[in-house]
Amino acid sequence: MALAGACSRNLLHKIKFMVGSRDEINATATPNGDEGPAVALTFLNEWLVESVGRWNGIYTVIGQVEAVLPEGESWQVLRFIEDAPLTPLEKTTLLGAIEPFRGAISNFGIDLDESPTELSGPALVVRPIAMFR
């Protein structure tokens, strides 16, 4: 039994090494008010009071700008391997996984961007300090 536990811990360690262990959530936000740059939010799941699946409506966000993306640069919103540079294989795989859902979600009035796995500049990447309704 001890061998099985050691193997499980070893496997878990290898998986965390490959895919990261921060449990970080990346999301895009649509600011209210005057037009401005696109906004991405990045935060750790452990700091959430309620699950992301329950988010809807309008929130006030107080945060710190982590990056300013100029025109022509992009930031990955969706990743398989979070602690490594994006590879062409990862990008192609992500786009291939999302593409079949394009038609289905359009029935709900949601239109995917040309590249739904990334946010293109001009944009702000913000780390929320507080979010509330």
Q: pLDDT tens digit string along 91-131?
A: 888 888 888 888 888 787 777 777 778 888 999 999 999 88
DSSP structural state of residue 2: H
Asked if 48 and 40 touch (Cβ cutoff 8 Å), the reply is: no
Q: What is the reported pLDDT for 1?
A: 45
Q: pLDDT tens digit string along 9-47?
A: 666 655 555 555 557 788 888 888 888 898 988 888 777
Q: What is the pTM of this model?
A: 0.68
Other Cβ atoms within 10 Å of 126 Cβ, number: 19
